[in-house]
């Protein structure tokens, strides 16, 4: 393989100093236009590419932003990544992706590796197993820029970007009530997730406002595995008072639960109806998708998270650097026709 062309080689051929070449490539006004033109022309001829590694070492940066998320295969998180990459690549940053697979110990290990290997900043959505968050606080205490997104742990002072889940659950439950449903069940997520508590509060508030029954038998928590979802949905269907509608933690939970309903001979959106979160694109291909789904704007969440992180790590990028920004996007209830 041919060796990469360096600034020193351009300097040697033009009989000028490497520092002059460097300034000319940056179009410094301290260098004459004639010399700048000559340097750019030779750099193009020799197919010279500047070393971002060398540049980053000079300014004490790595040019790498890390993302730690539960599962990249989930459409929501892949859309967040798209939003982050859009802004990061525009400013010539690399995005490194890490998956916790919803495991606490793996999340801790990843963050420890990132802390010791120097990245310019970290964007994190916590694992469902995580109930203790000192490992996140340790990063912040060390001065490592951290932006928490979507699954945001409680009592951590850090930059945060998410969607108003409580409001989304409230609006979804109110909509079901307006459609005439009276026994609305909740297939919620695991207890440690703040998002699960947000859904619960929005659901309960809407039921109380509409004078609908609040029954523990209609509220089930799932660990987000297919097996547990099917078990909890079966419990709902075999109870003395079967629900006529279900608010599900997300579209994936709704789809698994709908399978159980079909096996029990129920017609989706006729005998029992669903509303959920995430607004997955695949819903448009289903014959009987959930009646409505709460859009959480994952792409915009990614953009905002990257915007905050870049405003902290790169002084050339304009942005609001007020300590610990908390951005909460408005949810949108997307209603589908039967």
To the question of pTM greater than 0.75 for the whole model, the response is yes
Write the CA distances from 136 to 101, 116, 126, 152, 332, integer angstroms: 17, 14, 10, 11, 30
Short-list 148, 89, 103, CA closest to 122? 148
Cα separation, 53 vs 57, in Å, equals 6
Dihedral sign of CA atoms 302, 254, 333, 185 in order? negative
CATH class of the domain whose range is 165-295: alpha beta
Helix then strand then coil, % of the chain, to nearest 5: 45, 15, 40
* Domain chopping of the chain, boundaries: 7-50, 59-164+298-330, 165-295
59-164+298-330 homologous superfamily: Response regulator (3.40.50.2300)
Q: Residue 157 is encoded by which pair of tokens? A: 């002072």
Strands of the sheet with 332-335, listed across from one edge = 219-221, 184-188, 245-248, 273-277, 292-295, 332-335
pLDDT tens for the chain, 338 residues long, are 456 778 888 889 899 998 888 888 888 888 899 999 999 998 888 888 776 555 554 545 678 999 999 999 999 999 999 999 999 999 889 999 999 999 999 999 999 999 888 889 999 999 999 999 999 999 999 989 999 999 999 889 999 999 999 999 999 999 999 999 999 999 999 988 899 999 999 999 999 999 998 999 999 999 999 999 999 999 999 998 899 999 999 999 999 999 999 999 999 999 999 999 999 998 888 889 999 999 999 999 999 999 999 998 865 555 544 478 999 999 999 998 76
182-191 burial, b at 16+ Cβ within 10 Å, e below that, comes to: ebbbbbbbbe
Instruction: Judge if 59-164+298-330 and 165-295 fold alike in CATH terms.
Output: yes
Tokens representing 328 are: 């909460």
């Amino acid at each position: 393989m041919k060796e990469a062309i360096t600034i020193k080689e351009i300097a040697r051929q033009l009989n000028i100093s490497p520092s002059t070449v460097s300034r000319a490539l940056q179009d410094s006004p301290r260098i004459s236009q004639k010399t700048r033109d000559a340097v750019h022309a030779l750099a193009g001829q020799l197919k010279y590419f500047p070393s971002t590694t060398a540049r980053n070492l000079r300014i004490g940066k790595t040019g790498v932003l890390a993302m730690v998320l539960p599962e990249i295969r989930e459409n929501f998180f892949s859309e967040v990544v798209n939003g982050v990459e859009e802004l990061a690549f525009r400013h010539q940053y690399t995005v490194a992706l890490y998956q916790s697979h919803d495991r606490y110990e793996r999340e801790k290990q990843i963050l420890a590796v990132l802390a010791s290997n120097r990245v310019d900043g970290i964007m994190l959505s916590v694992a469902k197993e995580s109930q203790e968050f000192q490992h996140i606080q340790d990063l912040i205490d060390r001065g490592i820029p951290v932006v928490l997104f979507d699954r945001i742990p409680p009592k951590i002072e850090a930059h945060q970007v998410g969607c108003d889940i409580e409001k989304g659950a409230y609006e979804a439950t109110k909509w079901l009530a307006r459609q005439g449903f009276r026994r609305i069940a909740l297939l919620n997520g695991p207890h440690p997730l703040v998002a699960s508590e947000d859904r619960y509060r929005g659901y309960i508030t809407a039921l109380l406002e509409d004078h609908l029954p609040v029954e523990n038998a209609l509220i089930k928590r799932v660990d987000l595995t297919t097996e547990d979802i099917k078990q909890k949905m079966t419990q709902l269907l075999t109870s003395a008072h079967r629900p006529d509608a279900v608010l599900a933690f997300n579209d994936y939970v709704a789809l698994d639960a709908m399978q159980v309903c079909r096996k029990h001979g129920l017609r989706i959106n006729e005998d029992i109806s669903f509303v959920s979160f995430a607004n997955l694109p695949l819903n448009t291909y289903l014959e009987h998708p959930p009646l409505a789904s709460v859009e959480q704007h994952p792409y915009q969440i990614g953009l905002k998270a990257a915007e905050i992180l870049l405003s902290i790590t790169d002084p050339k990028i304009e942005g609001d650097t007020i300590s610990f920004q908390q951005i909460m996007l408005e949810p949108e209830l997307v209603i589908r026709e039967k």
